């Protein structure tokens, strides 16, 4: 009965999706494109920006050219570099205070998904000052315009530069959940592959796999998708198939890095409407409880979840197998789906990604509960899992 309720809920959501004003950020891309951003900010009439980033990126001097370019065009800025790898509500509140105290009128989110999610959280709290992060988490609880955000991804994975989601962890409970609202979609995105050249191979691997998880989950979910999301999922998957291992093995491949940035952007926009699934529902709990990097959790869980869906996912996975040009051991949908999953598993091995996640047995019930509540009834996965299904799956990850 509950599974039927989930499908009815998703059917209503699907109808509602057609009534929403979907959009995509304006994109500036290419080598050195970060230097074009300050002029754009000035043209849009902004005077002072809050740069949301993390201490690692500042210490690597990745923002130096941005700082210089901002000064050259007369844009004032203040830096908030206190974002944690899994941004918390405390990070958000600190950013809100700096934004207001410094009289900023826009933000630049510079980094991976963490600074971008934190910037969105800051924007949500500025728009809704009487609501805590906990009260804003969920669907369409902001519903007000937030400060303009210019995003500058330095990884190619989260796609947060084109999503309506901000994943924030509550510091006290370690509960990790999303704020989802159309107002959170950034207005502008800078895809500069030069900014990703210094990424360690491990980060290149896990962020690329994160983008793959977005594309695959959005495509296998199917329910909420329009033709655009289906096409973007396929494009992203093919770009990752062609470029991720190549860039992992040759980090200076600038064309490959640009292609991975495009893949992350496409996949991000695909799951913004198409939704993610149980890979994310379970992965978010691991990030919240243990600080597991998001991309690593996605990398590990993706093939396990797809295989656990069984025949219900064969159609879509077999189509992705064809998109990538993978040669299966047979011509059936099952054979193609298995070949696609095996490609993911082989890719993990080649990039040194662990086969299984680490978790504590005493936390299983908590993992199940958080994953169950995040995933149902919202995520239109090929198979709807009960709490017992989640537990059985988690116990199989050994």
Mark which of 165, 196, 227 sits at the end of a domain: 196
18 in any annotated domain: no
pTM: 0.93
Asked if residue 151 and residue 278 are part of one domain, the reply reads no
Average pLDDT estimate for 290-296: 92
pLDDT surpassing 90 at residue 307: yes
Reported confidence tier of residue 261, pLDDT bands at 50, 70, 90: very high
- Decide if 220 is inside a domain: yes
316-340 per-position pLDDT tens digit: 999 999 999 999 998 999 999 999 9
Q: Are residues 166 and 276 in the same domain?
A: no
Question: Residue 1: pLDDT band by 50, 70, 90 thresholds?
Answer: confident
Residue 85: which domain range?
Answer: 31-196
- SS3 call for 353: coil
Q: Kindly state whether residue 21 falls inside one of the protein's structural domains.
A: no
Taking residues 261-274, report their average pLDDT. Answer: 96
Q: Residue 157 in contact with residue 264, Cβ under 8 Å?
A: yes
Give the pLDDT confidence score for residue 177 in this predicted structure.
85
Total domain count for the chain?
2
Q: State residue 398's pLDDT score.
A: 82
In terms of domains, do 192 and 210 share one? no
Look at residue 175 in the predicted model and tell me its pLDDT.
87
Q: Is residue 6 part of a domain?
A: no
User: What digits encode the pLDDT tens for the residues 33-77?
Assistant: 999 999 999 999 999 999 999 999 999 899 999 999 999 999 999
Last residue of a domain, one of 196, 213, 233: 196
Taking all residues of the chain, what is their mean pLDDT, rounded to a whole number? 96
Token digits for 361? 């047995």
**Residues 20-34 pLDDT 10s:** 999 999 999 999 999
What is the reported pLDDT for 9?
Answer: 94
What's the average model confidence in pLDDT over 354-378?
Answer: 95
Asked if pLDDT for residue 222 goes beyond 90, the answer is: no
Q: Is residue 237 part of a domain?
A: yes
Contacts 24+ apart (CB under 8 A), 54-61: 54/81, 54/82, 54/83, 54/84, 54/85, 54/111, 54/114, 54/115, 55/81, 55/82, 57/81, 57/110, 57/111, 57/154, 60/198
**26 belongs to a structural domain:** no
| Residue where a domain terminates, one of 196, 231, 251 | 196
pLDDT of residue 397: 94
Task: Give residue 159's pLDDT.
Answer: 95
């Amino acid at each position: 009965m509950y599974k039927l309720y989930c499908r009815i809920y998703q059917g209503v959501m699907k109808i509602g999706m057609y009534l929403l004003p979907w959009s995509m950020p304006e994109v500036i891309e290419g080598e050195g494109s970060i230097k074009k951003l300050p002029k754009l900010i000035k043209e849009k009439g902004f005077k002072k920006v809050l740069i949301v980033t993390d201490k690692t990126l500042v210490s690597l001097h990745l923002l130096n050219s941005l700082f210089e370019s901002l000064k050259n065009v007369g844009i004032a800025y203040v830096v908030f570099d206190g974002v944690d790898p899994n941004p918390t509500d405390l990070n958000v509140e600190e950013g809100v205070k700096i934004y207001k105290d410094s009289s900023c009128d826009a933000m630049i989110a510079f980094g991976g998904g963490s600074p971008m999610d934190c910037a969105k959280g800051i924007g949500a709290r500025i728009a809704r000052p009487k609501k805590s992060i906990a009260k804003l988490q969920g669907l369409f609880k902001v519903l007000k315009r937030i400060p303009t955000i210019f995003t500058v991804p330095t990884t190619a994975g989260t796609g947060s530069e084109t999503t309506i989601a901000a994943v924030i962890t509550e510091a006290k409970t370690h509960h990790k959940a999303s704020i989802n609202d159309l107002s959170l979609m950034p207005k502008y995105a800078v895809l500069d592959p030069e900014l990703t050249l210094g990424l360690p191979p491990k980060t290149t691997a896990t962020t690329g796999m994160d983008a793959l998880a977005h594309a695959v989950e959005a495509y296998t979910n199917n329910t909420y998708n329009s033709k655009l999301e289906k096409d973007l999922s396929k494009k992203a998957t093919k770009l990752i198939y062609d470029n991720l291992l190549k860039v992992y093995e040759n980090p200076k491949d600038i064309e490959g890095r640009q292609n991975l940035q495009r893949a992350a952007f496409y996949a991000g926009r695909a799951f913004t409407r198409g939704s993610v699934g149980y890979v994310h529902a379970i992965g978010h709990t691991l990030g919240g409880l243990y600080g597991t990097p998001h991309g690593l959790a996605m990398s590990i869980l993706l093939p396990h979840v797809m295989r656990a869906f069984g025949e219900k996912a064969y159609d879509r996975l077999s189509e992705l197998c064809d998109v990538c040009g993978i040669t299966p051991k047979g011509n059936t949908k099952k054979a193609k789906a298995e070949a696609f999953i095996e490609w993911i598993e082989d890719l993990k091995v080649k990039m040194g990604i662990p086969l299984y996640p680490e978790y504590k047995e005493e936390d299983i019930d908590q993992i199940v509960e958080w994953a169950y509540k995040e995933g149902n009834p919202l995520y239109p996965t090929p198979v709807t899992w009960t709490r017992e299904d989640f537990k059985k799956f988690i116990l199989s990850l050994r």
